[in-house]
Amino acid sequence: MTTDAVHTEQLIALYGGTTPVRSRWTYQASSPYTVIAEFQTSHERWVRWMFARELLVDGLVGPAGIGDVRLRPEGIPGREMLIVEIESPEGHAELELDITAVEAFVDATAELVPLGQESEHFDVERLIAEITNV
């Protein structure tokens, strides 16, 4: 972990409740509103999803999302999970993640950029430069 990013490959998802899927999650202070989740689909292929950190936070406590990424907590005490549904024109997947591991990831992101203070870390000038130099 660097001082401006959180990265983990420790989150194992279950696809269909039985097949393990390795995932890696990244958060960078330079992009304070977003997280990146990548899921390994084969030995050398990762599918990447970028979505709002706020969506991840909301999904830990209740159903969240109406688009291509939807999250919800589920389970019984002692086996609580975060259900991640991802959808694209190529297909649909429903993955189960250990909710405690995801909470630890969110906590680590909040150490870099406290929740609700994203605008203080967002570089508008950099974004304008990227858009106008296309």
Instruction: Give the tens place of pLDDT for each residue, 4-48.
Output: 877 776 677 777 667 788 889 999 888 899 999 998 888 888 889
Take residue 111 and report the two structure tokens written for it. 């150490």
Question: Considering the entire predicted model, what is its pTM?
Answer: 0.81
- More confident position, 62 or 90: 62
Residue keyed to tokens 């998802």? 13
Give the tens place of pLDDT for each residue, 81-133.
999 999 988 888 889 899 999 999 999 999 989 887 677 766 656 656 667 87
Question: Which residue segments constitute the domains of the chain, with CATH numbers given?
Answer: 5-132 (2.30.31.20)
| Cβ 5 vs Cβ 26: under 8 Å | yes
Query: For 66, which DSSP code?
Result: S
HSE of 66, CA atoms in CB hemisphere, 13 A:
0
Take residue 65 and report the two structure tokens written for it. 């999302």
For residue 128, the model assigns a pLDDT of 62
